């Protein structure tokens, strides 16, 4: 009996030692990343493929020069990117033809691709001009969160849309997000009957975020997925709920729209560079009191996803860092 008690005490001590060690590692890593929102190790570079000269980078704090910016992160996407860009550009060109006041830019962020992604992107710059299509080269792979952050901070739009390079969500669905943002902005803008207030009103000055959502497809997905994928998905949703709280059912859909004011607040503070930056966005929206809209979008599975079962531990690690970083105030939030 004494031997059994001794073994149990040893196991309890071992578990306690492991937990304390893990917590210490998380705290130390959160402290190391406390200035990650500066992201100085990945300067943004625009390059004109015709002249091979660098183009000056705009800043999110500059006045908007375009109505809509589309930010597309790309890592080894030479095969999926052309189809998605063709669909996107056809849609944008059609809107320009129908509305002369409509202006846009497409920012393709090459996140250290090792294939022909850069060449594919530059083909579109040559076709549509560097004023409408730009490529940001990060040099080496930093992660989807960092790629989107760079695109957001160097965009020129009043409204900024992030979308995936695979074209899984129909680009036409951006109008759903766009219309809802305008509706909420109008509702929240208390200008009364003053003509001057109406004249100075700009949606881009009101912080709002619209999250594209696949939550309406969840029942069908549960029926067709393997049991272990459903188990992992439900587990991840529970961890997200604990880390960021309720409010958005589908945090991971890669189709989100921000007003310029919202993007300025969020992407100057975001620290996570990879898959869980979406959850950090939800956390920061709540911190700043930014309205979050969740809007159903059309979505289809496209082969070649970068997410795999090995991504789950990395996601959990990032969620742990985020929770510790913000809740211990190691990660400071600037307004």
Mean pLDDT estimate for the chain: 83
> Is the per-residue pLDDT at 333 higher than 80?
yes
pLDDT at 231: 63
More confident residue, 65 or 227: 65
| Residue 78: other Cβ atoms inside 10 A | 17
Mean pLDDT within 248-271: 92
Specify whether the CB–CB gap between 56 and 153 falls below 8 A. no
> Is the per-residue pLDDT at 222 higher than 70?
no
- Edge-to-edge strands, sheet with 292-296: 54-55, 46-47, 133-137, 104-110, 66-74, 157-162, 256-259, 209-213, 292-296
Which secondary structure element, helix H or strand E, spans residue 71, and what is its range?
strand 66-74
Cα separation, 310 vs 308, whole angstroms: 5
pLDDT band at 10 (very low <50, low <70, confident <90, very high): low
The DSSP bridge pattern shows strands 292-296 and 209-213 to be: parallel
pLDDT digits (tens, 9 = 90+) for 77-115: 999 999 999 999 999 999 999 999 999 999 999 999 999
Cα separation, 68 vs 263, whole angstroms: 13
Cα separation, 257 vs 280, whole angstroms: 15
pLDDT at 193: 46
| Residue 56: other Cβ atoms inside 10 A | 7
Tokens of 310: 């090995």
Listed range (100-109, 185-194, 241-250, 293-302) with the worst mean pLDDT: 185-194
Tokens of 57: 């980078």
The CA-CA-CA angle for residues 333, 44, 253, to 5°, reads 60
The DSSP bridge pattern shows strands 209-213 and 256-259 to be: antiparallel
Rg (CA), the chain: 22
Output the pTM of the full model: 0.84
Which secondary structure element, helix H or strand E, spans residue 211, and what is its range?
strand 209-213
More confident residue, 234 or 140: 140
Specify whether the CB–CB gap between 263 and 160 falls below 8 A. yes
Range with top average pLDDT, 58-67, 162-171, 319-328: 58-67
């Amino acid at each position: 009996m004494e031997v059994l008690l001794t073994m149990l005490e040893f196991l309890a001590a071992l578990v306690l030692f492991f937990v304390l060690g893990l917590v210490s590692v998380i705290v130390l890593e959160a402290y190391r990343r406390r200035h990650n929102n500066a992201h100085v190790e990945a300067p943004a570079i625009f390059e004109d493929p015709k002249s091979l000269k660098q183009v000056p980078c705009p800043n999110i704090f500059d006045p908007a020069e375009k109505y809509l910016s589309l930010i597309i992160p790309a890592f080894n996407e030479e095969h999926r990117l052309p189809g998605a860009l063709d669909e996107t550009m056809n849609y944008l060109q059609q809107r320009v033809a129908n509305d002369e006041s409509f202006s846009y830019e497409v920012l393709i962020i090459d996140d250290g691709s090792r294939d022909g992604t850069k060449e594919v992107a530059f083909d579109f710059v040559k076709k549509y001009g560097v004023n409408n299509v730009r490529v940001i080269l990060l040099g080496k792979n930093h992660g989807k969160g960092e790629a989107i952050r760079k695109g957001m901070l160097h965009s020129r739009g009043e409204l900024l849309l992030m979308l995936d390079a695979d074209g899984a969500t129909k680009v036409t669905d951006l109008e759903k997000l766009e219309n809802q943002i305008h509706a909420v902005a109008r509702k929240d803008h208390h200008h009364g009957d003053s003509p001057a207030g109406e004249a100075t009103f700009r949606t881009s000055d009101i912080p709002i975020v619209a999250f594209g959502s696949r939550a309406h497809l969840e029942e069908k997905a549960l029926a067709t997925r393997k049991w272990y994928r459903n188990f992992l998905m439900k587990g991840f949703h529970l961890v997200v709920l604990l880390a960021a709280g309720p409010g958005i059912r589908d945090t991971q859909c890669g189709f989100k729209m921000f007003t310029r004011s919202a993007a300025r607040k969020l992407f100057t503070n975001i620290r996570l560079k990879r898959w869980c930056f979406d959850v950090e966005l939800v956390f920061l929206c709540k911190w700043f009191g930014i309205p979050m809209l969740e809007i159903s979008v059309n979505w289809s599975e496209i082969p070649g996803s970068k997410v795999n079962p090995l991504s789950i531990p990395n996601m959990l690690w990032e969620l742990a860092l985020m929770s510790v970083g913000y809740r211990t105030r190691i990660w400071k939030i600037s307004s």
